[in-house]
A = this chain, B = another copy of it.
Amino acid sequence: MDERWMGEALREARIARKAGEVPVGAVVVKGGEVIGRGRNAVERSRLATAHAEMLAIEDAARTLGDWRLDGCTIYITVEPCHMCLGALYLSRISRVVFGARQSRSGACGSVDSFHEAELFNHHIDITCGVRAEECLALMREFFGELRLDDKARRDARAG
C-alpha cells in the first residue's frame, strides 16, 4: 500500500514541477483515504514555509477539523527538513513514509536525526526509500533543467 500512496505524493510533486517549483509532494492518509494534499509552493506563494508537508498537514487538519493527526500517515517524496519534521511531531502524526533522501537538508538521518533522540512525548514511525528512484529522478531532472537554463542565460549574455 505504501507504494500506492507514494504514487499520490509523486502526482503532487509533478504538478509542483510544472509550476516551476522544486518538485516535492505529500499526502496525508487515514483509514484508506487521502485526507490532505500538499505540493511545494515556495516560489508561487513567496513563503519559505510553503513546503509540501506543511500544506498537507494543514489540509488534513482542516478536513478533520482538528490539529491532532494521530492515526494518520504522511507520504512525502523526499526526506523532511527540520521545520517539517518538527511540524509532524506537533501534529502528533503516527507515521512518516518518504522516498528520496535530501543530503543537504534532511532531518531524518541526512544532516540530522533528531527523531532518534525521542525528545518529545510522542513517537513517530519512520520509513524511508519508498519509490525513492522516481522521487529522486524528479528532483534531478528539475535541478538539471535549472542548470541548463542558467547556462543558456550565460551563453545569451556572452553572445
Residues of A within 8 A of B (CB): 42, 46-49, 54, 57-58, 61-62, 65-69, 81-87, 89-92, 105, 107, 111-112, 114, 117, 119-120
Residues of B within 8 A of A114 (CB): 82, 112, 114
Q: How far is the CB of A29 from chain B (nearest CB, A)?
A: 17
Apart from A47-B61, A48-B57, A83-B90, what 12 extra A-B contacts exist at CB < 8 Å? A42-B67, A46-B65, A46-B67, A48-B67, A48-B68, A48-B91, A49-B90, A82-B86, A83-B83, A84-B86, A112-B114, A112-B117
Q: Which chain B residue shows the least CB distance to A82? A: B86
Q: Which of B61, B65, B83 contacts A87 (CB 8 A)?
A: B83
**What is the CB-to-nearest-CB distance from A108 to chain B, in angstroms, rounded to a whole number?**
12
Q: How far is it, in angstroms, between the C-alpha of A111 and the C-alpha of B118 when the chains are bound? A: 10
Task: Please tell me if the beta carbons of A61 and B82 are within 8 angstroms of each other in the complex.
Answer: no
Contact of A47 with B58 in the complex, beta carbons under 8 Å: yes
The complex places the Cα of A117 from the Cα of B114 at a distance, in Å, of: 12
